[in-house]
Amino acid sequence: MPRLLAVPVAALALGLAACSGTATPAPGSAGGSDGTVAVVASTNVYGDIVKTIGGDAVQVTSIIDSPDKDPHEYTADARTQLAVSKAQVVVENGGGYDDFVATMLSASSAKPRVVNVADVSGYDQEPADGEFNEHLWYDVPTMVKLVDRLSQDLTAVAPDRADTFRTNAAALTTRLQGLEKSEADLKAAHDGTGVAITEPVPLYLLEASGLVDKTPEAFSEAIEEGSDVAPAVLQQTEALFTGRQVGLLAYNEQTTGPQTEAVLKAARDNGVPVVPVTETLPAGQDYVGWMQGNLDAVGSALKG
């Protein structure tokens, strides 16, 4: 379950009231100060994808914009409140990951086009086991769907730039298909190999690569919830490394603590490769390059 902090609607309403003199752009008009389409994305992952499709036709504000910021502890500020009040397109992950976006929207009189990636994915958000993995940006097929949806929504807002959106979206889709090929290559070489995680952040990517999560469910759930791991569960997790039952540990660098560090130490002490992952886009990278880097790191780890 996610731990992103909701922002009180009343507080947001007060912040937006100070901006009430700014007119909400009419549908189909450009909302940026330079005639661009104003877009707000909950994280820089989606912000980068929008920018890749929109080019100089979009003005993007990414709310969570640095790996140094913990996505689970975000609180809104006046800057993001103002950006949401002016946005013509808003991109949220959904699935309970970034509920602060819905809170800000509810406090604003603006009516932007809202793209909810969990809805775009088509996945059941209430599966029988009760565990929906909301880290959808690690799922390449969902990103392919998202690119198509964003191209459509940007075109609806700025139809005069339709050719730009269509061309850029097609190019990005081709690059995403390259990621899917990398996953297929990993699966062909390592199908069924066990892996461990600290949180389910990269699970879509790992599973698409044919890898099997061996982590006790109680461990990754507790870490994601920010609660203590039972000693017996921690021992079971550490045993994955002492017994060399897994080929790698995928370690979320943005959520660390004594128990994840204990698991990290167990992996290193037993010669199990560690693949660091993050929830947000590292500085200086684009989405596809970032994901390809993750896949390359997984492949290198499994080669030993």
| pLDDT, tens digit, 9 for 90 and up, residues 230-263 | 999 999 999 999 999 999 999 999 888 999 999 9
The tens digit of pLDDT for each residue in 41-94 reads 999 999 999 999 999 999 999 999 887 776 667 777 888 889 999 999 999 999
Same domain for 157 and 221? Answer: no
- For residues 220-226, give the mean pLDDT: 85
- Which pLDDT score is estimated for 242? 95
CATH of the domain at 299: 3.40.50.1980
Place of tokens 């100089």: 56
Beta bridge partners of 43: 64
Residues in CB range of 82: below 8 A, 6 or more apart: 15, 16, 19, 22
**Do 39 and 58 meet the contact criterion of CB atoms below 8 Å apart?**
yes
Q: Which position has the higher pLDDT, 14 or 189?
A: 189
- 34 pLDDT band, cuts 50/70/90, is confident
- For residues 98-112, give the mean pLDDT: 91
Same domain for 160 and 197? Answer: no
Same domain for 128 and 266? Answer: no
- For residues 273-288, give the mean pLDDT: 95
Same domain for 219 and 247? Answer: yes
Same domain for 154 and 196? Answer: no
Q: How many separate domains does the chain show?
A: 2
Residue 209 is part of which domain span? 191-303
Same domain for 17 and 164? Answer: yes
Give the whole-angstrom CA distance, residue 210 versus residue 195. 10
Q: Is the pLDDT reported for residue 33 higher than 60?
A: no
Same domain for 165 and 30? Answer: yes
Q: Is the pLDDT reported for residue 146 higher than 60?
A: yes
- Which pLDDT score is estimated for 31? 57
Please check whether residue 255 lies inside any domain of the structure. yes
